[in-house]
């Protein structure tokens, strides 16, 4: 033995000790690393197991997994999501997440799962998925963006505002988004007296990043006088549906009579009788109704629908965030001429 090990005063002995120490440190960090990775995996698995096996519509649970399946199954999950078959899409995503062990390989699938939960109305689950993604990858812009939407839909506006800082750090322009969330928070604030809310809304009209249509809609329901006083003659087209559906009692004829476009709108609607029939509003549908009225046809009405300027989808009711692509301030009003069915006496407010 004495011949194998160097003597303790031999320089070789110190080198041997150093090598043994390095080996011990390397081995222990490998063991600790493996343990941490295992713990991470099991925590994600445990977390996702809460969402599993509700209505297993696809029998994929026992299907043997192969890496080649990832792409086609992801595409299939996406297709199910687009068709509104959310549970099928969710099950496919959960199957993939279960079988892929590296977080960064399944990050996109987790994002898709979060979005499907959001689309399907499972807001709390969607929130948990995005929080889980951000826990492992805090710089994931898409997850931050969607988490903000989820918070907004849950009416957790302060948390939605907190998302803006990391988005800004990641280079996003968040001015309009901030205005959108702050306006939602203000409109929701029940403790604020009505007069203060009206005052604040009027101030916000001066700020370019705040959506004009949303503020005007709120003003018309809170304080008619202030709404009429602040109606911008250059942006009448953007609130045409709101003006069209206002009950006659809510009209301010002083202001209407001073504006040719407003006169034309209410003449077309049949609220105003005017002899100046040649007045043009420069709104095609309104001018067509007036022309028909002059020609003796008196039963044309307007039917409104709402388009998204970003994804170009159309919806029968208005929105503040596009239901399809979640864009803000993207609403476009489309009016169609229809035959009048009965006297419409309802308001949008």
Q: Which residues bind Zn ion (CB under 5 A)?
A: 308, 310-311, 322, 324-325, 327
| Number of neighbours of residue 262 by Cβ within 10 angstroms | 22
**Which of residues 148 and 166 has its CB atom nearest to Zn ion in the complex?**
148
CB of 322 to Zn ion, least distance (A): 3
Which CB sits closer to Zn ion, 199 or 310?
Answer: 310
Nearer to Zn ion, 178 or 320 (CB): 320
8 A C-beta contact, residue 159 and residue 151: yes
Q: CB of 216: closest distance to Zn ion in angstroms?
A: 21
Angstrom distances, CA of residue 169 to CA of 164, 181, 211, 298: 9, 18, 24, 58
Check if the beta carbon of residue 147 is closer than 8 Å to that of residue 123.
no
Residues paired with residue 331 on neighbouring β-strands, in sequence order = 308
Could you tell me the smallest distance in angstroms from the CB atom of residue 307 to Zn ion?
A: 8
Helix (H/G/I), strand (E/B), else coil: 251:
coil
Give least dist CB 108 to Zn ion, A. 22
**Closer CB to Zn ion, 288 or 320, in the complex:** 320
DSSP string of 123-145, one letter each residue? HHHHHHHHHHHHHH-TT-HHHHH
Q: Please state the closest distance from residue 337 (CB atom) to Zn ion, in A.
A: 25
Structure tokens at 233: 């003659």
What token pair was written down for 25? 């440190």
Smallest gap, in angstroms, from Cβ of residue 149 to Zn ion? 12
Q: Using N-to-C axis directions, what is the helix angle for 70-83 and 86-99, rounded to 10°?
A: 160
- Quick one: tokens of 327? 């864009």
- Cross-strand bridge partners of residue 302: 337
- Listing DSSP states for 105-124 in one string gives HHHHHHHHHHHHHHHTT-HH
Q: Is the dihedral of CA 83, 86, 90, 92 positive or negative?
A: negative
Give the nearer residue to Zn ion in terms of CB position, either 159 or 213: 213
CA 143 to chain CA centroid, nearest Å: 12
Decide whether 228 or 326 has the Cβ nearer to Zn ion. Answer: 326
| In the complex, minimum distance from the CB of residue 119 to Zn ion, in angstroms, rounded to a whole number | 13
Q: Which is nearer to Zn ion, 199 or 213 (CB)?
A: 213
């Amino acid at each position: 033995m004495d011949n194998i090990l160097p003597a303790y005063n031999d320089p070789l002995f110190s080198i041997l000790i150093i090598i043994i120490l390095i080996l011990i440190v390397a081995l222990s960090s490998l063991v600790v690393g493996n343990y941490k990775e295992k713990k991470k995996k099991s925590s994600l698995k445990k977390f996702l197991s809460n969402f599993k096996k509700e209505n297993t519509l696809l029998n994929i649970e026992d299907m043997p997994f192969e890496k080649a399946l990832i792409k086609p199954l992801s595409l299939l999950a996406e297709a199910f999501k687009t068709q509104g078959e959310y549970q099928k899409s969710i099950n496919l995503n959960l199957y993939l997440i279960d079988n892929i062990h590296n977080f960064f390989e399944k990050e996109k699938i987790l994002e898709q799962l979060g979005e499907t939960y959001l689309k399907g109305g499972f807001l709390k689950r969607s929130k948990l998925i995005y929080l889980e993604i951000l826990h492992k990858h805090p710089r994931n812009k898409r997850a931050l963006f969607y988490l903000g939407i989820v918070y907004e839909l849950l009416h957790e506006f302060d948390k939605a505002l907190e998302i803006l800082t990391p988005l800004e750090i990641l280079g996003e322009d968040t001015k309009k988004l901030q205005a959108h969330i702050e306006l939602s928070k203000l409109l929701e604030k029940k403790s604020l007296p009505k007069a203060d809310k009206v005052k604040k809304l009027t101030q916000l009209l001066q700020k370019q990043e705040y959506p004009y249509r949303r503020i005007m809609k709120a003003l018309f329901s809170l304080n008619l006088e202030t709404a009429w006083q602040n109606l911008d003659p250059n942006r009448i087209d953007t609130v045409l549906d709101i003006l069209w559906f206002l009950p006659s009692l809510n009209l301010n004829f002083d202001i209407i009579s001073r504006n040719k476009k407003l006169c034309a709108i209410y003449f077309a609607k049949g609220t105003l009788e005017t002899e100046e029939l040649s007045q043009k509003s420069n709104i095609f549908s309104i001018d067509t109704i007036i022309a028909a009225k002059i020609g003796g046809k008196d039963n044309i009405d307007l039917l409104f629908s709402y388009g998204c300027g970003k994804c170009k989808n159309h919806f029968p009711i208005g929105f503040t965030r596009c239901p399809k692509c979640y864009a803000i301030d993207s609403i476009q009003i489309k009016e169609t001429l229809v035959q009048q069915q009965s006297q419409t006496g309802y308001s949008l407010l």
